[in-house]
Amino acid sequence: MSGRVLLGRARDTVPLANAMVVIHHVTRENAGPVDSMRSDARGRYRIELRNPDSSGAYVVSVWYDSLAYV
């Protein structure tokens, strides 16, 4: 999975460097983190799913200013 973490501001949007990005796997029975990393200077992240599981959904969360965003 890959993407970019952006911080929206009143007049512009800027990359959020060094943000903790967490990939979660969610099913009807279970949910939990699979892997994590910090975003780079441009807010980018790339996490390889070693054993993708189609029995549920994958969700990305990011921590910023002591809050988790999904």
How would residue 70 be classed by pLDDT, with cut points 50, 70 and 90? confident
- Structural domain span for residue 35: 2-64
The count of domains in the chain is 1
The span from the CA of 9 to the CA of 39, in Å, is 19
**Residue 41: its pLDDT value, please?**
98
This prediction has a pTM of: 0.86
Cβ partners under 8 Å of residue 59, min gap 6: 23, 24, 25, 26, 70
**Residue 68 pLDDT greater than 90, yes or no:** no
What kind and span of H or E run contains 4?
strand 2-4
**Rounded to whole angstroms, how far apart are CA atoms 55 and 62?**
23
User: Is residue 70 in some structural domain?
Assistant: no
Q: Is 43 helix (H, G, I), strand (E, B) or coil?
A: coil
Please write the tens of the pLDDT for every residue from 3-52: 999 998 778 899 999 999 999 999 999 999 999 999 999 999 999 998 89
In a domain, 69, yes or no: no
